[in-house]
Amino acid sequence: MHCPVCVRAMVSTSSQEFEDEKGVMTITRWRCRPCHETAEEIWLSAGYRGPDPTRIRYAVASPPAPQGTVPARARIKSGTHAYAGAV
C-alpha cells in the first residue's frame, strides 16, 4: 500500500480478522513512517458481500473551525477608558 500524501510505501501495523456465519472480514491498519499518515484497509470474504455490495462507513474527524476575527473595540486594553468629563 502506498501513502496518499507522500506516495511512499506504508507499513502494516496490525491486522484483525472477524468471523461470523456470513464469512470473514479482515481489517489491516497501515502507517507511513515519513509523514505519519494512517489508513485502514478492509477486506470482505465473498459471503459478506452477497448479491449486493456492502457499504462500509467510517467517521473521520474534520479539521477544527478557523478562529473568527476579533472586532477592533475588543482589542483595546482594559483600563484605558476615557470619560467625557475628564480633561
* Number of structural domains in the chain: 1
Element (H, E) at 46: helix 46-49
Query: pLDDT per residue over 9-47, tens digit each?
Result: 999 888 888 888 878 888 899 999 999 888 888 888 776
The answer to whether residue 32 sits within a structural domain is: yes
- Where residue 43 sits, what CATH number does that domain have? 2.20.25
The answer to whether residue 27 sits within a structural domain is: yes
The answer to whether residue 33 sits within a structural domain is: yes
Query: Which 3 state secondary structure label does DSSP give 47?
Result: helix
Mean pLDDT of 61-72: 59
Q: How many CA atoms lie within 13 A of 19 on its CB side?
A: 1
Task: Please give the pLDDT value at position 67.
Answer: 64
The answer to whether residue 20 sits within a structural domain is: yes
Task: Please give the pLDDT value at position 14.
Answer: 85
Query: pTM for this structure?
Result: 0.49
Task: Please give the pLDDT value at position 19.
Answer: 85
The answer to whether residue 13 sits within a structural domain is: yes
Task: Say how far apart CA 24 and CA 13 lie, in whole Å.
Answer: 20
- Domain membership of residue 42 as a residue range: 1-48
Is the pLDDT higher at 82 or at 19?
A: 19
